[in-house]
Structure 1
Amino acid sequence: MVRTRWCAALVTVLAAASLPFSAQPASAAAVQYEAENAVISQGVVEANHAGFTGSGFVNYDNVTGSYVEYTVTAAQAGQHTLTFRYANGTTANRPLDVTVNGTLAADDLAFAGTGAWTTWRTVTATVNLAAGTNKIRTTAVTANGGPNADSLSVDGGGGGPVTGTPVEINGKLHVCGVKLCNQYGKPIQLRGMSTHGIQWYSQCVKTASLDALATDWKADILRVAMYIQEGGYESNPRKYTDMMHNYIEEATKRGMYVLVDWHQLDPGDPNANLSLAKTFFAEIAQRHKDKVNIIYDVANEPNNVTWARVKSYAEQIIPVIRAQDPDSVVFLGTHGWSTFGISDGRDENDILNNPVNATNIMYTFHFYAASHQDEHYDALARTADRIPVFITEFGTQTYTGDGGNDFAYSQKYLDLLAAKKIGWTNWNFSDDSRSGAVFKSGTCAGNSFTGTSMLKPAGVWVRDRIRTPDDFPTG
C-alpha cells in the first residue's frame, strides 16, 4: 500500500539499468493497480461505499503522513500519465504529494470534493518513470488525510510491449486466496530450478551457469538448497550464511526470484534445528528485507514427524522472519517429505483441519513422477484448491533422484500445475551422476551451460518446459 499527495509537477527519475534478459511481453495499454493491493500506512481497506473497482478501496486515516504506495512497472523510461480514481464526500480539498522512487513528482495534487463518497472521479499527473519497477507513493498533507483511494492507472508511455525480467514485470509477490500473485494482484506461475546441496555442488552455481539459467533457460526462480546437516550449515554457519547472501545477490542481478531453502532432511523434525534456523533467518531477512524477489522456505522435507510438530515449528520461525521482513512470502514444507503427509501414511486433512496461524504463506509439495503417481497426484489436485501450494522440488525419476524418467506422468503433473497456476522448481541444477541432475558429469568444471549438448535427457526435458513463454498478466 502507498502514501498519497499529488501535484502536476514533473520530476525526472533516472532509468534503471535493464537486467540481462526479457520475459514474456504483455500489453502496453494502461495498467490498473488497485489501492487495496498496495502498501498502506495509516489507512484501512473498506468496501462500504458502492462504485469502487476491485475488492475495495483505501480509507486514509485523518492524519498528515498517511499514505498508499503502489509498485508499478514501466516498459520504458520516460513520461507516463498517472490516473488516480478517488472519492471525496466532503467539500474540502484533500491534497496529496506524489513521489516516484522517493523523489517528489507532484506537490499538493488536488483531490476536490466529489459530492458523495459513492461518487468517483479521476485526477491525473504526468511523471517520469524508470524502465522496470517504480514505487509511487501518495501521501496526505493535511490533518484531514487523503480521499478514498480506489485505484491508480499507469499508461503505457507511448506503447510497446511490457518487457523485462520476471522480477521487473511481477515485482513484489504475495499470496491471494490460494494463488501466488504479482504486484498487479494477478495469479502467476513461476518455473525454475533448484540447486543441489551447495556444500557439494557450489561449482555448478557460478556466473556462467546462472547466466545460462536466466537467459538461455529463461528461468523465473532459483531455489538455493542449503543443507543443514551432512556437512552443510551446521558445520560452518558463517560460511553457509555468506554463501546464501551471495546467491541471493546473484539471482537479484539477473532478475530472478530466489528461494532461500532451509534444507533440513535428517533429522526429519524441523524443531531439532529451530535455534539454528532462528539465527540464520534473522540475518537473511534483516539484510534482504527490501528486496522484492526473496522468498523464504523454512523447512524442506519434514518426515517421520506429526503435522502438529511441523506447525509448531512454523509458528516459531515465521515470526523471526516477519520481525525483519513483514511482507515477503514464506514457504513451509509439509509432513511426509512434503507430500501433505501422504508418504507418511497420512493425508492433507491434517493440514486443512489445523492450518498454520500465519498469513502470506504457502505449503510445499514434492513429487518424483516415477514413484509418486495417482495417490500423490490426486492429493495435490484436491489440496491445491483449498490452500496455497508451491512445488519446491520434483523430478521425472524415482524419489531417489535416479533411475528411469517417466516423462508421461511428469507431463501429467505439469499440466495440472499449469492449469492451477502452481509454481515449481525442478531438482536439480548440477552434474551429479544421478539421472535427476540436469548436466552430464563433468559439465560444472567448465563454463559451457547454454544449449542442450551438456544436458542429460531430464535436463533437455525440463529446460524445454521452463523456456516456454511465461504468462504474467499485468492488467
Structure 2
Amino acid sequence: MSLYTSDDPYYGSYYWTNDTMLKLKCYWNSNVVRIPLIVAGSAGYINDTETNYKKVIGAIEAAIETGIYIIVDWHAFDDYLNYSLPFFANISALYGQYPHVIYETYNEPSWADSWTTLKNYHIPVINAIRANDPDNIIIVGTPRSDVDVDIAATSPINMTNIAYTLHYYTNLNESNFQVKGQNASNMGLPIFVTEYGVCSTYGNGTVNYNVTKDFWNFLGKV
C-alpha cells in the first residue's frame, strides 16, 4: 500500500500515523506501506527539510510500533545525490537495526538517465546505507521511470539485497511492461513493484479491471 505524498497536508502525510498503519495491517491485510517523500517543489524536502524529515521519522516509528514494513521512498524525478546521500545515511543510522525499514533510493528516474548514469547514482547511496545497515532491502530505480528493468538486468549492481523497481499503469502499454518484467526475471533480476495504478498515472480515467487482474497474475508468477 502506497500512501500519498509528504507535501500534501491532508491527503498526504495526514495519514502517516500509528492509526493508519494499524488499520492497514489489521483491516486491509497490508504488510508493507510506502511513504513518498517529495524531494522537489515548494513544500518538498529540499525547501522544507525539517518538516518533511519529521514526517518520515514519525511514519517509520509508527510502522515499527505496528509491526509492519515501511518503504522510505525518495520520491524524486531527477538526480539529487547531494541531498539523498545524507538523508539515507541518517535514516539508516537511526533505523537500520530494524527489519521493518526498506529503502527506495530513487522513485522514477528521468528518461534522460541511462542505466550507467543511474548506477553511478545508486552505488554511493547504497554504500551510505550499508555503512549502517548491512542487511535490509534497498530498491533502486530503473531507466525510463522504472520501465526498463530488462536493461538493468543486463548489468545489475553487484551487491546483496538489492531489488529493482518496475512501475506500471493500465492505461499505458501493459503488454510491454509484462514482456520487460518477464525478460528481467528470466535473467534473475529481483523485481519490486513499488507503485502501480489501475487507470491513469494521475488517478483518473476508466479502471481497467481485466488488465489489472492480468498483471497481478503475472506478478504472482515472476
Match of 1:128 in 2: none
Deviations 1:19-71 (A, max 9, x none): xxxxxxxxxxxxxxxxxxxxxxxxxxxxxxxxxxxxxxxxxxxxxxxxxxxxx
Match of 1:312 in 2: 120
Show structure 2 runs of 5+ residues with no match. Answer: none
Instruction: Indicate the SS of the match to 1:234.
Output: coil
% same residue = 26
- Residue identity opposite 2:62 in structure 1: E
Q: Select the residue among 236, 239, 250 that pairs with 2:62.
A: 250
Distance (whole Å) between structure 2 residues aligned to residue 413 and residue 384 of structure 1 = 14
The yes-or-no answer on 1:233 pairing with 2:45 is yes
Distance (whole Å) between structure 2 residues aligned to residue 206 and residue 245 of structure 1 = 11
Number of aligned residue pairs: 216
The yes-or-no answer on 1:419 pairing with 2:209 is no
Alpha carbons 1:369, 1:397 under 8 Å: kept: yes
Q: Higher helix share goes to which structure?
A: 2
Give the alignment of 1:53-72 within 5 angstroms.
Answer: none
Q: Select the residue among 92, 98, 107 that pairs with 1:291.
A: 98
Q: CA deviation at 1:300?
A: 0.6
Alpha carbons 1:303, 1:335 under 8 Å: kept: yes
- Residue identity opposite 1:396 in structure 2: V
Structure 1 segments of 4+ aligned residues over 3 angstroms from their partners: none
The yes-or-no answer on 1:332 pairing with 2:140 is yes
Q: CA deviation at 1:401?
A: 2.6
Alpha carbons 2:85, 2:128 under 8 Å: kept: yes
The yes-or-no answer on 1:383 pairing with 2:184 is yes
Distance (whole Å) between structure 2 residues aligned to residue 413 and residue 204 of structure 1 = 28
Distance (whole Å) between structure 2 residues aligned to residue 401 and residue 276 of structure 1 = 29
The yes-or-no answer on 1:367 pairing with 2:168 is yes
Distance (whole Å) between structure 2 residues aligned to residue 207 and residue 245 of structure 1 = 12
Give the alignment of 1:97-116 within 5 angstroms.
Answer: none
Distance (whole Å) between structure 1 residues aligned to residue 204 and residue 17 of structure 2 = 24
Answer with 1 or 2: which has the greater Rg: 1
Match of 2:35 in 1: 224
Alpha carbons 1:365, 1:391 under 8 Å: kept: yes
Distance (whole Å) between structure 2 residues aligned to residue 364 and residue 320 of structure 1 = 20
Higher RCO (Cα < 8 Å, 6 or more apart): 1
Deviations 1:392-411 (A, max 9, x none): 00010022332111011001
Alpha carbons 1:315, 1:357 under 8 Å: kept: no
- Residue identity opposite 1:227 in structure 2: I
Q: CA deviation at 1:224?
A: 0.7
Alpha carbons 2:21, 2:68 under 8 Å: kept: no
Alpha carbons 2:17, 2:58 under 8 Å: kept: no
Alpha carbons 1:370, 1:409 under 8 Å: kept: no
Q: CA deviation at 1:198?
A: 1.4
Alpha carbons 2:18, 2:66 under 8 Å: kept: no
Distance (whole Å) between structure 2 residues aligned to residue 354 and residue 324 of structure 1 = 26
Alpha carbons 2:178, 2:218 under 8 Å: kept: no
The yes-or-no answer on 1:197 pairing with 2:5 is yes
CA distance change for structure 1 residues 322 and 207 in 2, over 3 Å: closer, same or farther? Answer: closer
Match of 1:357 in 2: 158
Instruction: Indicate the SS of the match to 2:70.
Output: strand
Deviations 1:169-200 (A, max 9, x none): xxxxxxxxxxxxxxxxxxxxxxxx11111110
Distance (whole Å) between structure 2 residues aligned to residue 330 and residue 374 of structure 1 = 27
Give the alignment of 1:104-253 within 5 angstroms.
Answer: 193-200=1-8, 201-230=12-41, 231-253=43-65
Match of 2:108 in 1: 301
The two structures have a TM-score, normalised by structure 2, of 0.92
Distance (whole Å) between structure 2 residues aligned to residue 254 and residue 409 of structure 1 = 33
Q: CA deviation at 1:385?
A: 2.9
- Residue identity opposite 1:379 in structure 2: K
- Residue identity opposite 1:263 in structure 2: H
- Residue identity opposite 1:211 in structure 2: L
Q: Higher strand share goes to which structure?
A: 1
Distance (whole Å) between structure 1 residues aligned to residue 155 and residue 184 of structure 2 = 14
Deviations 1:116-141 (A, max 9, x none): xxxxxxxxxxxxxxxxxxxxxxxxxx
Alpha carbons 1:315, 1:358 under 8 Å: kept: no
Q: CA deviation at 1:330?
A: 0.5
Distance (whole Å) between structure 2 residues aligned to residue 353 and residue 219 of structure 1 = 32
Distance (whole Å) between structure 2 residues aligned to residue 394 and residue 353 of structure 1 = 24
Q: CA deviation at 1:202?
A: 1.4
Q: CA deviation at 1:335?
A: 0.9
Instruction: Indicate the SS of the match to 1:303.
Output: coil
Alpha carbons 1:365, 1:392 under 8 Å: kept: yes
Q: CA deviation at 1:382?
A: 2.1
